[in-house]
Structure 1
């Protein structure tokens, strides 16, 4: 079966799809013939992603989704299933960060980051998995980070959340492997996105100096990895946290 054949007629949900990695992932699924539920709190960005997909003949709909709200996530999943007849793939990618030393990080900022990055991934899987079981199986990819494997000064909340994403991914993978739902994660290194553009130049330089490939990554490179993890070529892979980091974690 060709790649286009295995994706044809399938349905995906992508969070944080209004820009960056999420937009690239939504476009990658659509290019493979998948109908995409484009989820984001940024309506302008999300609708632009839908327009990009439709402009090349793909199918997509925008859903205003706060992943930290269980009701909002459930409504998005239900709408996708009602619109396209099922749910087979998901890329839970929505994320945020707060920059401060641990002793100076506010409780509000810590909670906000954990709610989006970790609770959000849990809520998405909580509502996606039953729908995938109804469809006879599926594949989920969560966005972790190189910071799911190590520490980073001034990023206590982000690092904690991404360690949690890796743990959630592995646990769900064990729980649902026998029922045909595979759950994996990607761990991007430094990727050029609107979110990473907010990092101080010296911090970016320090990260890039440790990426042996010698450059920043592009959103499309992470999206390609996510799409591959959902494909039949990755049928034996579940519970993996795949580094897409230009060799950063090989040190």
Structure 2
């Protein structure tokens, strides 16, 4: 895979899990990376793990639910490292699990949609003009296997992830002649730190949901994202890549 020397990337929700793994892959290939999160302590810890020298990485507090916060993050990225070339909209929350739609708290619905779907919209609204001004680049939005199937008990999360795919495809068409490629990925269950905190029984059930019989690693998801950001996928835009071990093929 080609490297990202002289490229600047912004990865949201990158204080742990998939976001951190994406930042790590980009750094390993020479990119300068800005990572964002809402939790300052976790953000600082991730920055220390990823780049203790702070030469190639800049941690930035950002709230994906707040358009002004997202706009500031794009502006601060440019001020710190220069023109923005790559954007990964990874920030997201699942919300309450196992709750029927008619019993789902309205405030939690708004929280999931604001973080996952609106946060992705804000990222592209403010990030895309910056990437165009830099001469072009790529965007990857994190959907999920829930973006193409229905999963009971997490209706808002499922709706948001479906919406991200539609948003990705519409944006890809709008910017196809502007030098920016925009794609989405859909992981199944991923063996993130939060997953590792679950009971062995729950983890086994999640792993068994995939025909491959296991969960994805954060690195596996990150490598697909980095491929879509790279020039190796130069004729790919408006696409959705499943990273789900066969889950959505069932």
Q: 1:56 offset after TM fit, Å? A: 7.6
TM-score by length of 1: 0.94
Question: How many aligned residue pairs are there?
Answer: 248
Q: 1:153 offset after TM fit, Å? A: 1.1
Match of 1:130 in 2: 129
Q: Secondary structure at the match of 1:158?
A: helix
2:75 to 75, 78, 89: 78
1:25 correspondence with 2:51: no
Superposed, 1:132-151 pairs within 5 Å as 132-151=131-150
- Cα distance in 2 between the residues matched to 1:206 and 1:163: 24
- Cα distance in 1 between the residues matched to 2:197 and 2:102: 22
- Cα distance in 1 between the residues matched to 2:166 and 2:198: 26
Q: Secondary structure at the match of 1:179?
A: coil
* 8 A Cα contact 2:12 2:36, kept in partner: yes
* 8 A Cα contact 2:18 2:221, kept in partner: yes
- Cα distance in 2 between the residues matched to 1:10 and 1:92: 17
* 8 A Cα contact 2:47 2:54, kept in partner: no
2:46 to 38, 44, 49: 49
Match of 1:89 in 2: 86
Match of 1:213 in 2: 212
Q: Secondary structure at the match of 2:185?
A: strand
Q: 1:209 offset after TM fit, Å? A: 2.2
Match of 1:154 in 2: 153
Structure 1 residue runs without a partner (length 5+): none
TM-score by length of 2: 0.94
Q: Deviations over 1:168-221 (max 9, x none)?
A: 001100110111100001100110113445767666544432312111111111
* 8 A Cα contact 2:26 2:33, kept in partner: yes
Match of 1:189 in 2: 188
After superposition, the Cα gap between the structure-2 partners of 1:158 and 1:201, relative to the gap in structure 1 and judged at 3 Å, is farther
After superposition, the Cα gap between the structure-2 partners of 1:9 and 1:38, relative to the gap in structure 1 and judged at 3 Å, is same
1:169 correspondence with 2:168: yes
Structure 2 residue runs without a partner (length 5+): none
Q: 1:58 offset after TM fit, Å? A: 5.7
